[in-house]
Amino acid sequence: MGANRNHGLIVGNYCHDVLIKDDVVLAQTLGGAVSFIASVLDGFNISANYVSKVGSDFSYNNQLNHPPIVSQSEKTTVFHAYFVSDPSEIRREDRVLKKIRSCDPILATDLPDEVNFSFGMAVGIGGEISPETLEKMLDICEVVFVDIQALIRDFDEIDGTVKLVNLKDTKFAHLIPRIGFLKASAEEAPYVDVDEVRKFCCVVVTSGKDGCTVYWKDGEMQISPFSTVQVDPTGAGDSFLGGLVAGLVEGLKVPDAAMVGNFFGSLTVGQIGPPELDSRLMQKVKDEVRTRKMQCDEHDDESRFTKPSGHEQFIASLSAAKLVTARTVSPNVGHEVLDPNLGYTSNQMFCNNSIYEEPIKSIDAKP
């Protein structure tokens, strides 16, 4: 999967995200894994077909580089993300996520019929990707990256709270041997059986401030994080996956590509919604990535999972790029932040939007 064959297929719905802290709405923004992934891939000029569905109420059509399919029967998927002042009051997680409503699923027939995609990304958020859809992706893409949330999320029938089920108990289990890379968060990993799945594909487990761990059949490797100030963790894993894929498309070995993933994950948690990537920063990162690729070409005999010499210097180069091109904080396009304590302001949107048709429900404080 080299930079000369970089046409991808990205599958997953956009959504409306509402951020709620202590039962007060803080912000509402464009959501969905594809929106975060597109920010990264577009920054690298990596071309891809995006297959997503929204309703006629979707609020961001004019702000997307990759327009979705508009459903004639269902509204846009909506998630409420609940935060509390002290996360230990509820769980060890940063948030409680509830699906308020779902748009139409993405069908196998919605995917293009061409069979020459160099990579695919199955990044569903609300159960919109079926086994049949994933199977077609595996048929028409050279290598498929899967975010485990697309396969193991279940939703409470009463309030839509996101629950997780064991991968082996899903209808996707038989497709795992055909997947190239599987990404899971530290909270999702126990539902995957990493030791079993790593026999078939590369598993990458993200751990927030602790970076990520790459598992493959014959080994594993911890990849260092980048320091950052967290504003909103939403989408960090999506941006990580976008960075990982971008690094691999650009020809990096897996450890270096995972480092690029960590880099973009760290940028995302410092913002609300899909990250705004400063053009100077992106140019610097692309220059560093391509320099790194040329350095590693001298060691083609190394395994793609072997940490290449100079890996630590690559970390330092990306860190320096982040510092040198530190952007002036500016409004994120297309979201409203209602809490000045978050440190961001923006254009007012959605004040009377249909998102608020659904009541804001309190978090169950029981463990």
pLDDT of residue 301: 53
Rounded CA separation 96/289 (Å): 36
Higher-pLDDT residue of 223 and 62 is 223
Whole-number average pLDDT of the chain: 84
pLDDT of residue 195: 96
Tokens of 336: 């409203």
Residue 157 has pLDDT above 80, yes or no: yes
Rounded CA separation 288/292 (Å): 6
Rounded CA separation 185/207 (Å): 6
* DSSP assignment string, 253-271: -HHHHHHHHHHHHHHHTTS
pLDDT of residue 6: 56
Higher-pLDDT residue of 149 and 87 is 149
Single pTM value for the model:
0.86
Residue 19 has pLDDT above 60, yes or no: yes
Least confident stretch, 61-70, 197-206, 221-230, 247-256: 221-230
Residue 64, phi then psi, degrees to nearest 5: -110, 145
pLDDT digits (tens, 9 = 90+) for 40-51: 999 999 999 999
Which member of 232, 238, 256, 278 is catalytic? 238
Instruction: Categorize the per-residue pLDDT at 94 as very low, low, confident or very high, splitting at 50, 70 and 90.
Output: low
- Which residue type does 50 have? Y
Residue 111 and residue 48 in contact, taking contact as beta carbons nearer than 8 Å = no
Residues 6+ apart with CB under 8 A from 122: 11, 12, 129, 133, 134, 137, 144, 145, 146, 147, 150
pLDDT of residue 330: 40
Angle between helices 279-296 and 254-268 (to 10 degrees): 170
Chain centroid to CA 271: how far? 14
Rounded CA separation 30/96 (Å): 18
- Which residue type does 237 have? G
pLDDT of residue 86: 60
pLDDT of residue 331: 40
**Of residues 141, 101, 99, the one with CA closest to residue 120:** 141
238 in active site: yes
Residue 337 and residue 25 in contact, taking contact as beta carbons nearer than 8 Å = no
Least confident stretch, 93-97, 149-153, 331-335: 331-335
